[in-house]
Structure 1
Amino acid sequence: MMLAITAAFLTGTLAHPLDSRATSSSSAATAKITSAAAFTSGAGNKDPSSILSTGVGKGTDSYSCYSGSWESFPPSSKWVSFDAMWNKTTSYLKESCANTGAFGPGDSQAQIDAMYDSIVKVSEASLVDPRFIFATILQESSGCVNIDTSKNPDPSQPDNPGLMQSVAGVKFVGNSASASAQAASIHQMIVDGVQGTAKGDGLVQCINQYGNIYEAARCYNSGEVNKSNLNDPQGATPSYVNDIANYMTGWLNANSKWGSCKK
């Protein structure tokens, strides 16, 4: 049975090309959360591997509407655990490419395993909550490792490739590459999205600037943030922050209700 596609595709768009993101101010290999506010809000954790099972279980696969400032979105006490978020997607990821225009129906088991390992490792290196990393992957690419690169309409600006549609990062090396090369490619795609590239910021830089995942999500998608209205797309994807909030609380296959949400 065909699984429901993610909200990014339900709204007819991938994440918008991120030409407004700033040039990354720290080396991607070492970038990590330093914001005290981030550790309070849940965006960061000083020992991410210790919280993989922390959360409200698997949550509810439904779509809710949120609007306004980041305080109006679900707090970390309402987030599902990373393990629950991951476990409900094991079948989903095997069909994740079917509606994206990318090559093949979805990810292989080896690619899925490499994605899991890389999320955990990059979370440990960056101190970004692994749930936010995975939610961003689902939003940006449906978790399809073969996702196409989003071309920037401004030829002077970089394109957005890979699992997290990073700024001028790497794209997947391809299914014909060796298992080790594929795993390394998956890892680097996640590094680029989380820790940033030489051409633009990742989740770390946005979290350090804003201190919470919701403003950071708008920063990552749009490059600009209207703090009083996170549904203001700033030229990018209007539903982006709502979608992230719903992934964090258990959404995956249920129909998006974004059309009825307050903009």
Structure 2
Amino acid sequence: MLTQVVALQAIIAASALAAPSKEIQEGAPHVLVSNPSSQQVTSSDAFSSGAGNNDNANIYDGTGDVGTDQYDCYYGGWGSFPAKSQWIEFDAMWNNSKSAMSTSCSDLGVGSCSDGAGAFGDGDNDEQIGLIWNAIQQVAESSLVDHRFILATILQESSGCVNVCGSTNPDPSQPDNPGLMQSDGGSTFVGNSASTSDQQQSIIQMIIDGAQGTSDGDGLVQCINQYGNIYEAARCYNSGSVDSSDLNDGEGATNSYVNDIANRMTGWLYADNGFDSC
């Protein structure tokens, strides 16, 4: 997630959702960090910009349509990126994404993380996809992070694969980035053989780690409270530092990250990532 992480291109099938690059670590579950579930969006600017949401129970927020599956280019500061009035509703984003999540782990490549696989188990099955929905809604309502931003970040970081391998930090003194949101030193999925209740709690924890932070690093909440909008918050989450005048400056991380998030918020899913032409 952060600047220290070295990227290794994940090869995704042409019909699959694009996933971020990452260097791979073994897939054994990480010891859970303390639960920061009290962390909430408090920035008044965030509620004006849409990053904060007091009504995540409303899944029909947004434009009222499914958006457009195309990749557009945005430049400069966050004000040049799509306003919340242009974001599709959560229900549409979710329904658009379910088919991609159902093949997300196989698209990443299932095997040993240490041997270069992108996922350490099959998934997502229909039940696991439902558990992700439950977890997003629970964490969104407790954190006040807009649920669409959480879902967009999950799609960006892991394609929604519960068994995604973590990103290995080349600096052994720094935490690795595991889980659905590739959080700082957070938790890895408990595994397909676990009970439904244990899988649900594991998925909730992975989303808490990314949305509300861990003892090792910031989540979306902390970045939103610092910057007040999803675009600078996305750059903060990906890079750890932000050039507010040029959000396409990855600061050593993924240059396209903020453009990718912006396009996910307006309906992009399968169309080619056109950032190289931006």
Secondary structure at the aligned position of 2:203 is classed as: helix
Aligned to 1:54: 61
CA distance in 2, matches of 1:104, 1:158: 22
**For residue 232 of structure 1, what is the amino acid of its counterpart?**
D
TM-score w.r.t. the length of structure 1 is 0.90
Alpha-carbon distance change, 129 to 121 in structure 1, aligned in 2, over 3 angstroms: same
Indicate conservation of the 8 Å contact 1:5/1:253, yes or no: yes
Aligned to 2:205: 188
CA distance in 2, matches of 1:92, 1:137: 12
Aligned to 2:74: 66
- RMSD of aligned Cα (Å): 1.8
Ranges in structure 2 where 5+ consecutive residues have no aligned partner = 1-12, 25-33, 109-117
Secondary structure at the aligned position of 1:191 is classed as: helix
Runs of 4+ in 1 over 2 A off after TM superposition: 2-9, 103-106
CA distance in 2, matches of 1:90, 1:232: 31
Alpha-carbon distance change, 203 to 15 in structure 1, aligned in 2, over 3 angstroms: farther
CA distance in 1, matches of 2:264, 2:245: 22
Which of 119, 136, 140 is equivalent to 2:136?
A: 119
Aligned to 2:15: 4
Indicate conservation of the 8 Å contact 1:7/1:243, yes or no: no
Query: Does 2:243 correspond to 1:243?
Result: no
Q: CA deviation at 1:6?
A: 3.3
Which of 194, 197, 207 is equivalent to 1:177?
A: 194
Q: Name the count of aligned residue pairs.
A: 248
Secondary structure at the aligned position of 1:88 is classed as: helix
**For residue 95 of structure 2, what is the amino acid of its counterpart?**
N
CA distance in 1, matches of 2:47, 2:125: 34
Alpha-carbon distance change, 165 to 152 in structure 1, aligned in 2, over 3 angstroms: same
CA distance in 2, matches of 1:83, 1:3: 25
Secondary structure at the aligned position of 1:43 is classed as: coil
Ranges in structure 1 where 5+ consecutive residues have no aligned partner = 17-25
CA distance in 1, matches of 2:182, 2:139: 16
**For residue 19 of structure 2, what is the amino acid of its counterpart?**
A
Indicate conservation of the 8 Å contact 1:61/1:251, yes or no: yes
CA distance in 2, matches of 1:71, 1:235: 23
CA distance in 2, matches of 1:118, 1:104: 20
Deviations 1:176-230 (A, max 9, x none): 1111111110010000000001111100000000000000000000000000000
Which of 227, 249, 252 is equivalent to 2:269?
A: 252
CA distance in 2, matches of 1:251, 1:15: 25
Aligned to 1:200: 217
Indicate conservation of the 8 Å contact 1:15/1:165, yes or no: no
TM-score w.r.t. the length of structure 2 is 0.86
Identity, in percent, stands at 61
Deviations 1:30-61 (A, max 9, x none): 000000000000001112213x1011121001
